[in-house]
Structure 1
């Protein structure tokens, strides 16, 4: 039966409604992820804590996110993004309010953990939506668009957050965020559809002339398929160094390091980190576009991983002129965003029905690193309070070693030529 052109146009139009709502929700995800770095001094003053305990506040989010990545993939593949994002976003909203009203450090930990659980599902559900609403040939580019949304959240968590915390207080800011998340959860419930077929339109399987994907997958078999695939683990190791570096620079110790190493004020340091955020946003788009255009994944991954390692070494051990930092940090943010390529490769080396689980496994490994490495760095900083700059150099050395390991792993990644190669494994 021939597909009506009108139905194709409807799919290509409504998919942006679905995608945009989840992308806007993803802005909250990355905002919460990065926010603690900018309000570090406020949190330390409020709860009377040091660098290690501060890092634990950030890590509570990542512990929760780590624990939920594979379950998130199962939920996305099993019950669909619509229900998953709606209910978990409400939980995240509750967590944000709890964090904002926390009377002590323990309650603050609980609030951050609830936020991490709640927002943990959004990214994977967004990737799942893209696999069901967008053409396969545009997969890496669409992940680039996700990166754009992510960096919008990271951008808001820099200088704008400094001003918001100054105007309303850090507590009220997080309470207001919780209210806003409830609003977007309602939009998700009303307008998001898991698949074009849910509203009587042809699905991507039909539009691309491939066998229809069945939703009622068996969880045990699906997990075994992804977890037993060595190609999944290779890109997961690459993800650790690249993604943890992104988190450390944009969300944990980037602003404090610039304040210590360069004697900058908080707003000046946050503005410089915005250069990295913008670089990351541009990188997410450009990397996906170029990779799709040349139909290569591995060469992009290896090249950008090598440049990322070199950039970290320069940033930490060579004091650059302040006037060079905006351009340097833009470039640094650009190249380290090659972690987006690990999600693309993970989807192309696994059964295409398991987009949620494949993405979840890679994220699970990456977020395990994001939960533990900054805390270890914080302990090094606490042990070097007499000489903070030396402390930062020692702490960042740990990260540089992890990035080097990820670079080595990138040489063993699979070249998919921008196609799903699962059947050829």
Structure 2
């Protein structure tokens, strides 16, 4: 059952990432600029981010299975429309549908983990879920490039839609909301209940700390994997298309390979979780500085180190969900998880849109392609987001520790707060 849920999440990651290698094809098919191309991904991410809290509320109300099934159907409908239209406006609407379905997958996975696994295994299973779902990103790199060249736009995207329908059947047959119950329904969602639930979840320092942790670790890999990595490697760093696809694949492999290690470190040294996150911010920002300041084109070995470190930051984002889980009771867990998950995607859509806008403002070669200097300027916008996130994490972790010290020993989860600061 967990495997089916992760498969649905992986399919959502595929849909999210497919334009990273289809960007050139999309530019030709819809006759659009870089900013318009970025708007496909930004719109999908915006829908994803905006819906995280509503999806969390719906999961708390209707259970994971039903929400996940509706999400898969929405993704398939969106991909069918995206495959068949050649209108830019209709293609944007199709990406909205894909974003709606994609928004349901991860929150449902985490809620199922909380329902089916013992507490001591939840951090490790959470760490494994994120990276394993990113296998869909690998399928959106080299295999999707091959499919687009071999079978064309329409047949490639129609095939993806068909896979979504097959996964929906598996969800319908296999997924149960909790042991012994096929569906789990919560309280009715009145306006007062929604307002109270969201206010209580956000009031928890652990929820806000989780938000900024996810914000800080997610956006650089998303920016590369979803849209700008392929053109950056090919047009700024002079790699071949095959090498660019391989680098994006290495980044996702790094996510999967590092996740068990991060899960072990988090379980073994819970008091050092925020230290791991801040160290990750420093490592990723430092490597980006080296690559962007490298005279001429950066060597492939340096680009490989970059994508490995950027990819390794992905599992660090999962630490944010641990803080939210520890700070919130089960009946509003999915809502809190949605808030945390919103952080990374708000950061991602911001940086993707800003990079596209700065590229359009930057210099171009005689043939109209963006120069390395334009990419350097555009990608430097990442440092602003890292600086803001690091300050917030530092401030909130101090507050989190102060709250833990003030709590009496009889308060709920005092040990968890102290251990996970």
Residue 16 (structure 2) pairs with residue 33 (structure 1): yes
Cα distance in 2 for residues equivalent to 1:55 and 1:419: 45
Report SS of the residue matched to 1:146. Answer: helix
Residue 113 of structure 1, CA deviation: 0.6
CA contact (8 A) 1:309 1:403 kept: yes
Runs of 5+ consecutive residues of structure 1 not aligned to the other structure: 1-17, 201-212
Q: Deviations over 1:234-272 (max 9, x none)?
A: 331232232111210211111111112221221211101
Write the distance in 2 (CA, Å) between the matches of 1:151 and 1:114. 20
* Counterpart-to-counterpart distance in 2, 1:91 and 1:390: 40
User: Which residue does the alignment assign to 1:250?
Assistant: 225
2:283–2:309 contact (8 Å) kept in structure 1: no
Map 1:14-413 onto structure 2 (within 5 A): 18-198=1-181, 215-216=186-187, 218-296=193-271, 297-318=273-294, 319-386=297-364, 388-411=371-394, 412-413=396-397
Query: How many Å separate the matches in 2 of 1:419 and 1:100?
Result: 52
* Structure-2 separation of matches of 1:252 and 1:323: 22
Greater alpha carbon shift after TM alignment, 341-350 vs 364-373: 364-373
* 1:180 CA displacement: 1.0
Q: Alpha-carbon deviations, 1:78-129, whole Å to 9, x = none?
A: 1100111112211111001111112210011011110000121110010000
CA shift for structure 1 position 299: 2.2
Q: Is the 8 A contact 1:86 1:189 kept in 2?
A: yes
Task: Calculate the TM-score normalised by the size of structure 1.
Answer: 0.87
The answer for the alignment partner of 2:409 in structure 1 is none
For residues 229 and 18 of structure 2, the distance between their equivalents in structure 1, rounded to whole angstroms, comes to: 12
SS at match of 1:289: helix
> 1:159, CA displacement in angstroms?
1.0
Residue 302 of structure 1: how far off its partner (Å): 2.0
Conservation of the 8 A alpha-carbon contact between 1:238 and 1:406: yes
Q: CA deviation at 1:353?
A: 3.0
The answer as to whether partners of 1:137 and 1:418 remain within 8 angstroms in 2 is no
Quick one: structure 1 residues 25 and 183, their matched pair in 2 at CA, closer, same or farther if it must change by over 3 Å? same
What secondary structure sits across from 2:181 in the alignment?
helix
The alpha carbon displacement at 1:215 in A equals: 3.9
**Consecutive unaligned residues in structure 2, runs of 5 or more:** 365-369, 405-412
Q: Distance in 2 between matches of 1:263 and 1:313?
A: 18
Output the TM-score relative to the length of structure 2: 0.88
Contact 1:23–1:126 (Cα < 8 Å) also in 2: yes
3-state SS, counterpart of residue 328 of structure 2: coil
CA contact (8 A) 2:237 2:372 kept: no
Contact 2:324–2:340 at 8 Å: present in 1 too? yes
- Quote the Cα distance in structure 2 between the aligned partners of 1:323 and 1:362: 34
Paired residues of 1:309 and 1:404 also in contact (CA < 8 A): no
SS, match of residue 53 in structure 2: helix
Query: Once the 2 structures are TM-superposed, how far is the Cα of residue 385 of structure 1 from its aligned partner?
Result: 4.1
Tell me the CA shift for residue 216 of structure 1: 3.3
Paired residues of 1:381 and 1:391 also in contact (CA < 8 A):
yes
Report the Cα distance in structure 2 between the residues aligned to 1:281 and 1:313, rounded to whole angstroms.
25
Task: Name the count of aligned residue pairs.
Answer: 395
